Amino acid sequence: MNMIEVQGLTKKFGDFTAVDGLTFQVAEGEVFGLLGPNGAGKTTTVRMLCCLISRTAGDAHIAGYDLANPADSLKIRKLIGLVPDNIGLYEELSAYENLDYYGKLYECTPDERKTRIEYFLKMMELWEKRDLPISDFSKGMKQKVGIARALIHDPRLLFFDEPTANLDPESARSIREFILQLKKEGKTIFFNTHNLDEAQRVCDRIGILKTRLLAVNTPQQLEKNVWGSRTVIQVEEVSEPVLEAVRRLDPVSLSVEENKINIGINDPTRQNPDFVQAIVAAGGRIQYVTQLNPGLEETYLKIIQ
Amino acid sequence: MRLSKAWTVASKDFKTFTKKKGILYSSLYFELVVSIGLPFLVLYISGKPNAVAALPQLLNAFSFLFVIGAALLPVSIASYSLVGEKVQKSLEPLLATPTTDEEILAGKSIAAFLPAICSSFIGALVFTILIDLFTYSPLKYLYFPNWDFAIILFLLAPLVCILAVGFNVLVSSRVNDVRTAQQIGYLIILPFGAVYFLTELKVLTQTTNNLLIMAAVVAVIDGIVFYLVRATFQREEILTKWK
């Protein structure tokens, strides 16, 4: 079952188009990352999906509920949790009071609130600080409380908008680990980020957004779609007969850099042995054979450009 | 609209005010001066020769200060309640909860209205007791309760208080810090201050009929302000235009 289904979703602010014709699906239990530069429309997309702002055109369904139907709006908000980019906790209140307040707004019973607040604060190692005002917390600690707030009603779908932005590496790592744990628990997660490394580690699929959705796929498949598969064969010496032997096998692309032969290949598993055999037969002495991975960053930049 | 949700929002604000006592204290100074300071001033004046004849007019004028108080008291609370949310950027997660715009607005309004009107009533109670205590001997009758004061306290003051809350919601949507919201919000006192001085200058007279007319005018303005507030307090408006 798809938790999110979006078809031609568009948002305009006056003459400015923030999001144009988005179409994608997110399956239940999937972690979907939306990558894009600042101003690409990531936050606007999340706000539309969380029923915070209206759409200008297109359709969207969350767990079968229609975003366009005002009667479904409260039902949608009940089953989602949002961790916004500005975490927005009440600085004068304690961590416990902040979570209790949101527990009430999400209509949790007093017992549920008590149990879940204790569970999350202990899990995030903040239980001892539960009565301290939020103003005394570090940014990483506030981010953890913000995540606990989004989880207080045990939502099926979570939206994270830049959850590790401006955090130190240690805090960012603990947030990522927590998100991975939520993934194991089967939560559906929609993840906005421009941290490519984080997206690669956490997300099952990635969408690249720059007002329009430019590409959607798994990180590996995105790379493959952009670059194809490339094999690098390092030989002792690149001679003309060796190159001629490679050319005869009709590679997608071929380039040479010092003693490395860079070959574009459609099906490396099947074709690599042929290339190796041809090079050896032409008198080439092979030192290494490696698969070239440009990485998500290169892929992202290529798509965005 | 679920009142329990509105009450949850209001309760959170009450809790915040108990931790930021400055917000409450700043509202109470005026009330203390009017309800305790003025009766002692009356006590001092009533001891003067020929003062008895002027006492009813003076007490009438002082009664109207509870209208000004009703406009003044909610300003700091309402400003903090909404602009505080803006400053702490807590409106987005709040709006993402299954709470309607009306419930949030009602909660914020209750949070500003209730302490203001309660302190007005408590202040008025202290004021009437002290005034009756200090003036019974020179006047030979109990000045309070009377109809004019009842209209001021139970009709005009709540309507003015609602107006002040609504005006502050409108102001809060346009400013980014609590102090500016308060400074602009205090402008709501001006028309009532003007009525007070015009009465003192005998341009206007404070009669029961005039008080009822004034209440009707304020009620109409309340309706207009409520309409504007409803148009302003829309989640999309809040997230995209409340800067």
Same domain membership, residue A199 and residue A114:
yes
Same domain membership, residue A239 and residue A203:
no
For residue A267, the model assigns a pLDDT of 83
- Residue of A101, A105, A152 to mutate when probing chain B, most B C-beta within 10 A: A105
Whether A105 and B90 lie within 8 Å, measured CB to CB: no
Q: How far is CA B71 from the centre of its chain?
A: 4
Instruction: Tell me the chain B residues in contact with residue A11 when contact means C-beta distances shorter than 8 Å.
Output: none
Same domain membership, residue A234 and residue A213:
no
- Closest alpha carbon to B175 in B78, B32, B33: B78
User: pLDDT by residue (tens digit) across B79-115?
Assistant: 888 888 888 889 999 999 999 999 999 999 999 999 9
For residue A102, the model assigns a pLDDT of 96
Nearest CB to B90; choose among A78, A88, A150:
A88
For residue B243, the model assigns a pLDDT of 63
Same domain membership, residue A152 and residue A32:
yes
On whether any CB of chain B is under 8 Å from the CB of A87, the answer is yes
Which residues does residue A205 pair with via DSSP β-bridges, in sequence order? A32
Whether A88 and B92 lie within 8 Å, measured CB to CB: yes
* Confidence grade of residue B206 (pLDDT, cut at 50, 70, 90): confident
Q: Name the DSSP class of A94.
A: B
**pLDDT tens digits, chain A, 305 residues: what are they?**
899 999 999 999 989 999 999 999 999 999 999 999 888 999 999 999 999 999 999 999 999 999 989 889 999 999 999 999 889 999 999 999 999 999 999 999 999 999 999 999 998 889 999 999 999 999 889 999 999 999 999 999 999 998 888 778 888 888 888 888 889 998 999 999 888 888 888 899 999 999 999 999 998 888 888 777 888 999 999 899 999 999 999 888 888 988 999 898 888 888 899 999 999 999 999 999 988 777 788 888 888 88
User: Contact A107/B5 with Cβ under 8 angstroms?
Assistant: no
Same domain membership, residue A53 and residue A162:
yes
Same domain membership, residue A140 and residue A75:
yes
On whether any CB of chain B is under 8 Å from the CB of A88, the answer is yes
- Residue of A56, A100, A104 to mutate when probing chain B, most B C-beta within 10 A: A104
User: Contact A82/A191 with Cβ under 8 angstroms?
Assistant: no
- Helix, strand, coil share of chain B (percent; to 5): 85, 0, 15
Give the C-alpha separation, A192 to A40, whole Å. 11
Q: Range of A102's domain? A: 2-217
For residue A112, the model assigns a pLDDT of 95
Whether B100 and A93 lie within 8 Å, measured CB to CB: no
- Residue of B92, B236, B242 to mutate when probing chain A, most A C-beta within 10 A: B92
pLDDT of B121 > 80? The answer is: yes
Among residues 4-33 of chain A, which lie with CB inside 8 Å of chain B?
Answer: 13
Last residue within a domain, chosen from A217, A236, A264: A217
For residue B53, the model assigns a pLDDT of 83
Same domain membership, residue A288 and residue A177:
no
Whether B94 and A146 lie within 8 Å, measured CB to CB: no
Evaluate whether residue A305 is within a structural domain: no
* Confidence grade of residue B154 (pLDDT, cut at 50, 70, 90): very high
Q: Give DSSP secondary structure letters for B161-202.
A: HHHHHHHHHHHHTT-SSHHHHHHHHGGGHHHHHHHHHHHHTT
On whether any CB of chain A is under 8 Å from the CB of B86, the answer is no
Instruction: Tell me the chain A residues in contact with residue B93 when contact means C-beta distances shorter than 8 Å.
Output: 82, 84, 87-88, 102, 146, 149-150
- Residue boundaries of the structural domains of chain B: 3-241
| Residue B223, helix vs strand vs coil | helix
User: pLDDT by residue (tens digit) across A119-177?
Assistant: 999 988 899 999 999 999 998 899 999 999 999 999 999 999 988 887 788 888 888 88
pLDDT of B45 > 70? The answer is: yes
Instruction: Tell me the chain A residues in contact with residue B80 when contact means C-beta distances shorter than 8 Å.
Output: none
On whether any CB of chain A is under 8 Å from the CB of B239, the answer is yes
User: Residue B19: closest CA among chain A residues belongs to which residue?
Assistant: A92
Last residue within a domain, chosen from A217, A240, A264: A217
Last residue within a domain, chosen from A217, A238, A268: A217
- Closest alpha carbon to B239 in A42, A53, A73, A46: A53
For chain B, what is the mean pLDDT?
90
On whether any CB of chain A is under 8 Å from the CB of B90, the answer is yes
Whether B98 and A84 lie within 8 Å, measured CB to CB: no
Whether A146 and B240 lie within 8 Å, measured CB to CB: no
Nearest CB to B88; choose among A80, A90, A101:
A90
Whether A13 and B240 lie within 8 Å, measured CB to CB: yes
Distance from CA of B15 to the nearest CA of A (A): 8
For residue B52, the model assigns a pLDDT of 82
Give the C-alpha separation, B103 to B95, whole Å. 10
Same domain membership, residue A187 and residue A57:
yes
Evaluate whether residue A64 is within a structural domain: yes
Number of domains in chain A: 2
User: Residue B84: closest CA among chain A residues belongs to which residue?
Assistant: A90
pLDDT of B174 > 70? The answer is: yes
Rounded (10°) angle between helices B3-19 and B101-139:
60
Rounded (10°) angle between helices A95-105 and A110-123:
140
Same domain membership, residue A137 and residue A262:
no
- Domain of A269: which CATH number? 3.30.70.100
Evaluate whether residue A299 is within a structural domain: no
Nearest CB to A82; choose among B8, B93, B99:
B93
Whether A78 and B98 lie within 8 Å, measured CB to CB: yes
Q: How many CB pairs under 8 A join A and B?
A: 76
Nearest CB to B97; choose among A86, A90, A106:
A106
Whether A82 and B236 lie within 8 Å, measured CB to CB: no
Whether A52 and B96 lie within 8 Å, measured CB to CB: yes
Same domain membership, residue A189 and residue A281:
no
On whether any CB of chain A is under 8 Å from the CB of B243, the answer is no
Q: Residue A282: exposed, middle, or buried by beta-carbon count in 10 A (0-12, 13-18, 19+)?
A: middle
User: Residue B103: closest CA among chain A residues belongs to which residue?
Assistant: A105
Evaluate whether residue A251 is within a structural domain: yes
φ and ψ at residue A93, rounded to 5 degrees? -85, 160
Nearest CB to A50; choose among B5, B12, B96:
B96
Same domain membership, residue A242 and residue A136:
no
Same domain membership, residue A185 and residue A63:
yes
Evaluate whether residue A304 is within a structural domain: no
